[in-house]
Structure 1
Amino acid sequence: MEEVLRVLPEGVKNIIKRYSNVERGGIEEIRIRINRPLEIIINGSPQFPQVDGREYFISREDASQITNKLSQYSLYALEEELKKGFVTIQGGHRVGLAGKVITLNGNVKAIRDIASFNVRIAKQKIGIATPLLSYLYSGGWMNTVILGPPNSGKTTLLRDLTRLMAEGYPKRSIASSKVGIVDERSEIAGCVHGIPQHQLGKRVDILDACPKAEGMMMMIRSMSPEILIVDEIGGAKESEAIIEAVNAGIHLVVTVHGSSIEDLYRRPSIQELIRSGMFKRIVELSRSSGPGTIKAVKDHKGNEIRRTKVI
């Protein structure tokens, strides 16, 4: 939490410090909204901590402090981040922003009068993808979709799977692979100034803050990856880029928002990828026993090959 504490306003920082190490380890989000109470989400449950018997309401001074710390006292330095709506800080943590949106010719130019901040705590769980090796690797990595609702652990699982692919796994005679990550939201690698903040392996190349469809084609042309990693696909252009990558002999692991495989069939840009059998494995996640609960592993026809819950 040290990287997070550095950017928090003093009042919020002092509240976080009151929590035990165990409680801090369960923090998922810190939501800061002007003139509303501080909200801290711990293990999926919202909490509204009190100071002197009253909920701690966020002041404009609190918002000013976190803005200044994020921008190092220069909003100009955050110009690109203000277009995207989030800032990635040391440690790979992400601070989402909301407020008055400024547009130019229909495109977002910046966010002004920032009134809400969502500090999302990035967590790397080394080894959580290891139990899936038997289902995702058979003489080679299989094209895989990781499917789950928001905050179900998709990106965390994807991050560890990336590490296994790039490092290899000698216990199962799995060699390391060249892995390309297209990290449009700077969330998989959590890059700061282009340098990943997470342990991803020695054979990883990253296109940070790059649109997914364009990034996949750039990777194919310039970095010759054996595996492409992409978070939260959904658009038609992304589906076209996936088809190009598969035709070029590249393996893919992607995440998609959804609660079940039926959700994939309801999305026109994705359903054909699934129906064609392009993705051989579908890992369904849920939050039923906390983020990272494996609901099922299915083949390309939707048949379950594993249903054991794993945290």
Structure 2
Amino acid sequence: MNKKDELLKIFSLKLRTMLSKVEFNYDKLQEIRLRVNGPLIVIYDNKEFFITGDSRMVEKDEDAYIILKNEIRETMEYISNFSLYAFEEEIKQGFITITGGHRVGIVGKAVLDDNKIKSIKHISFINIRLSHQIKGCGDKVLPYLLDEYNNCYHTLIISPPRCGKTTLLRDVIRQLSNGDEKRPGMTIGVVDERSEIGACYMGIPQNDLGIRTDVLDCCPKAKGMLMLIRSMSPRVIAVDEVGSGEDIDAIEYVMNCGCKLIATVHGNSIEDIKSKPILGKLVEEKLFERYILLSNAKGVGHLEDVYDANGNRI
């Protein structure tokens, strides 16, 4: 099943018909947003567009199709295969991963139990984020991540939102895991807290993360890193969007165990990371040996700079 078909089948019949007639290049389609009594919006090639009732993509909302409550309900029925109960654990997390690795974010009324989210009901807002894998996008940074003996450096990928850090991380994992004729593959452990790296569906990664990669899906990063160290003996652990105090404690533990770490973080520069109370400690202690800075100055995923542990440009 191609990307178009696997995506369209999750929508209500009316929305499915409308969207099928829009002339999308599905490799450029990033998000589809549904809000009750709100316009149908897509993020396409990094720009926001509205979809009209006659399947046109426009820049102004005057003619946009307005989403009805029953269309949200019908869409959720297709997303969950008519069994929302079966996805109770995923709903607690606020998203469901579907075939193809696409992630469906959901928001409504939170049901709390002992101040913890038990479920979400009256779902009224849906954001479908399409999974895109760009094989080879890690080619430009991989030489900076390995020493002369093909050992991996502790690496932090710094990037503003929507500049390709997760896409880059995914391809770096794949390449390190597979190896090539010049270097052996490595055992990689991935903690995929929000199912964005591997995009697992029923426990199986929908994205290619390489033949020596183990994925711990929907697990908090800090707990997941410790679990992988104890159970899977990885040479490298990869995580996305670190930042909490628990994350930092786990990162230090991983590094002290002799395992290499590749992580990403939101930011615009090393100085930006230094200014963060928790992450700044790791920078000052020079625990990371490589910093990869991305931007969208020349398109998503542009490699802006590479720095060593001392903050010197390489």
Which band: TM-score by shorter chain? Answer: over 0.9
Query: Which residue of structure 1 aligns with residue 86 of structure 2?
Result: 77
Give yes or no for contact 1:43–1:290 (8 Å, CA) kept in 2: no
Partner Cα distance (2:117, 2:293) in 1: 34
Partner Cα distance (2:300, 2:16) in 1: 25
Q: What secondary structure does 2:209 align onto?
A: coil
50-59 or 201-210, larger mean C-alpha shift: 50-59
Q: CA deviation at 1:60?
A: 1.2
Alignment of 1:4-19 (within 5 A): 4-19=7-22
TM-score (structure 2 length as normaliser): 0.93
Q: State yes or no: 1:182 paired with 2:185.
A: no
1:69-114 CA-partner distances (Å, limit 9, x unpaired): 1221122112111110000111111000111111111111111111
Q: Which of residues 228, 231, 236 is equivalent to 2:237?
A: 228
Query: Which residue of structure 2 aligns with residue 57 of structure 1?
Result: 66
Partner Cα distance (1:133, 1:115) in 2: 42
Alignment of 1:1-311 (within 5 A): 1=3, 2-20=5-23, 23-52=25-54, 54-138=63-147, 139=149, 140-170=151-181, 173-305=182-314
Query: Which residue of structure 1 aligns with residue 59 of structure 2?
Result: none
10-19 or 296-305, larger mean C-alpha shift: 10-19
Q: What secondary structure does 1:303 align onto?
A: coil
Give yes or no for contact 2:27–2:132 (8 Å, CA) kept in 1: no
1:267-291 CA-partner distances (Å, limit 9, x unpaired): 2221111121111111111223332
Q: What secondary structure does 2:22 align onto?
A: coil
TM-score (structure 1 length as normaliser): 0.93
Q: Any stretches of 5+ residues in structure 2 without a counterpart?
A: 57-62
Partner Cα distance (1:157, 1:252) in 2: 15
Q: What secondary structure does 2:298 align onto?
A: coil
Give yes or no for contact 1:44–1:290 (8 Å, CA) kept in 2: no
Partner Cα distance (1:263, 1:15) in 2: 44
Q: CA deviation at 1:223?
A: 0.5
1:179-208 CA-partner distances (Å, limit 9, x unpaired): 000111111111111111111111111111
Equivalent AA in structure 2 for residue 37 of structure 1: P
Equivalent AA in structure 2 for residue 158 of structure 1: L
Tell me which protein shows more helix as a share of its residues: 1
Partner Cα distance (1:212, 1:65) in 2: 33
Q: Any stretches of 5+ residues in structure 1 without a counterpart?
A: 306-311
Give yes or no for contact 1:16–1:24 (8 Å, CA) kept in 2: no
Q: What secondary structure does 1:117 align onto?
A: strand
Percent identical residues: 40
1:41-63 CA-partner distances (Å, limit 9, x unpaired): 01110000212483111111210
Partner Cα distance (1:291, 1:112) in 2: 36
